[in-house]
Structure 1
Amino acid sequence: MRDIGVAVNRYIEETTKDIVEFDGSKFISQSNYYNVESFIKKILNNNETNYFFLNKEPEIGLHDNLCTFLRLSVSLKSDDHYALCTKAKILELTSEFQAKLGWLVGNLYSRVGTDDYAPGTNLAADQYKSYVQDVMSEYIGMVPDKIFRDFKKVAKHTNNMNELDERMLDLIETKKKSRLSNIISVIGRVVQLDETQKEKLRNVLSQDGSVKRIIDP
């Protein structure tokens, strides 16, 4: 078994072209992030046919979220290995999860009903959402699609995360001001405005929800 991060990172590398690696972390666009989130949910519910997930249980010696790579086979000889494996065992699957593992390995055409990590089963909906986000935050960061290209450019010329945050905030604010100025300029073609009126209009528009959706990067 391996840490779930191995499966997550492999999926990201295989399915996502734009990955920004910065300060020891990986960042992807929001749309790609949702794809990774869907993949992780499938793993947590053991509906991803290539893997079998075990949630960490530190109190009994399972300290990390692990998953088995079902396509990776390991040959064992009962005479040589069974006693060693039995001696090293720290936990075992319940009967329903034994059935599900058998289904996954056997590639059957029906789903075994199990009490997985899904809303309304082991966890309430809000707890499940938080659980998924906690798992994801260990391996990947999300950047909104609208600013991902800028994020990628700025990251190339930035030394640390604090500096990156500051530069992105400055860039976003500059773009908002520029777009707001463009709107006021267009209005000025129809209605003549002096500087005082422009400033008042700027203040009003900057607080308007509909305008915010337009000028926000």
Structure 2
Amino acid sequence: MIQKKSIPTYIYGEGIQENSLLQGDVLKVQGQFSNFFKQFYPEVSFPDHEDQYVMVLTQSCDLVKSHKRKPKVSHINVCLIRTLRSLVRVLISEEIKPLSIAGNNILEREANDRLKDKLSKLLNNSDQKLNFFLPMQSPFTEDMVAMIPLSFSFRIEHYNLLAQNKVLVLKPEFQAKVGYIISELYGRVGTPDLSDFGWNDKSVRDYINTLLHDLNLIQVPDSGFLQYIEENWKDGNTSIHELIEKCDAKNVADSFQPIRNELKQNLKTQLIRLFEDKEKIDTLKAMEKKDLAKEIVNILNNSGL
């Protein structure tokens, strides 16, 4: 796998207070917290050998507590956090739905552009109604994504337990963005993006290309190429790239077919007229080879060849 740059961790705040919770806090699912998850939500499966995390969705104002004040809510809502890598695979298999042959995922140029545009918006946390991107920062070992629709609630009595498992916090403006994503009004919140931290469009494109590098994606111009490859794939006798070249050549040849048909028809018309003109035929028979060749050229030129 080729090396990729690390995305700036500009969304995270500093300092973790283990006795309080705020919207956007990242919690590690471990110990008793993990036991509660298994007890209350046995249908949730976590990948083996990977640390698991969730993000707090409940509004910060409802989570404020002190020795004189209890939180306003009866439950704390959290959502699952998954790896960006797994989300990309889901996007490709469920939304893009490429043609899969011999370990290759073949997709139209338009679909590839759509996938990259979606990932670009995700990395900038812009125009995302379902997910919130969390760049790699310890304890994360890779880029992550908060899956906001996949939410679960825990009784407020577990407040301290959840707070003790806090590992990352968001800056206030990104806490607000999480809130607006939930309410589908997040577009009103102005927050910094990657361009404010030295990442231009090319940097984002390069990152996305690296992210997609190991997924064996092959881009083709349109659905006609997909159909041609599917119809002509013969158990690996011809490589995908050879089929793409053959389809391209076929398309070029087919594009000239109407012109060839027109030329053939014009030539046919010229010859019919010639054969119907007995006097012309006699003249041609009497010509020298050199003059006859010139006359044939004239006939071909008149037909459009």
TM bucket normalised to smaller: 0.5 to 0.7
Q: Is the 8 A contact 1:44 1:53 kept in 2?
A: yes
Cα distance between partner residues in 2 of 1:168 and 1:141: 10
Equivalences for residues 166-185 of structure 1 within 5 A? 166-173=242-249, 175-176=251-252
Identity across the alignment (%)? 21
Query: Which residue in 2 is equivalent to 1:209?
Result: none
Among 210, 215, 219, the residue aligned to 1:134: 210
Equivalences for residues 84-103 of structure 1 within 5 A? 86-87=164-165, 89=167, 91-103=168-180
Counterpart secondary structure, 2:191: coil
Deviation at 1:175, TM superposition (A): 4.9
TM-score, normalised by the number of residues in structure 2:
0.49
Deviation at 1:109, TM superposition (A): 5.8
The structure that has the greater radius of gyration is: 2
Query: Which residue in 2 is equivalent to 1:4?
Result: 84
Cα distance between partner residues in 2 of 1:141 and 1:81: 48
Deviation at 1:123, TM superposition (A): 0.5
Deviations 1:109-128 (A, max 9, x none): 642222223x5654022212
Deviations 1:30-50 (A, max 9, x none): 222222223222322222111
Counterpart secondary structure, 2:117: helix
Deviation at 1:51, TM superposition (A): 0.7
Cα distance between partner residues in 1 of 2:250 and 2:182: 54
Among 46, 63, 67, the residue aligned to 2:145: 67
Segments of structure 2 that go 5 or more residues without pairing to the other structure are 1-80, 271-295, 298-304
Counterpart secondary structure, 1:72: strand
Cα distance between partner residues in 2 of 1:180 and 1:120: 51
Among 180, 183, 194, the residue aligned to 1:106: 183
Please state which structure has a larger fraction of its residues in strand. Answer: 2
Q: Is the 8 A contact 1:154 1:168 kept in 2?
A: no
Query: Which residue in 1 is equivalent to 2:201?
Result: 125
Counterpart secondary structure, 1:152: helix
Q: Is the 8 A contact 2:84 2:145 kept in 1?
A: yes
Cα distance between partner residues in 2 of 1:71 and 1:10: 15
Query: Which residue in 1 is equivalent to 2:135?
Result: 55
Letter in 2 for 1:3: T
Cα distance between partner residues in 2 of 1:64 and 1:142: 26
Please state which structure has a larger fraction of its residues in helix. Answer: 1
CA RMSD, 1 decimal: 3.6
Among 112, 116, 125, the residue aligned to 1:33: 112
Structure 1 pair 106–179 and aligned structure 2 pair: CA distance change class (3 A): closer
Segments of structure 1 that go 5 or more residues without pairing to the other structure are 194-200, 202-217
Among 172, 186, 192, the residue aligned to 1:115: 192
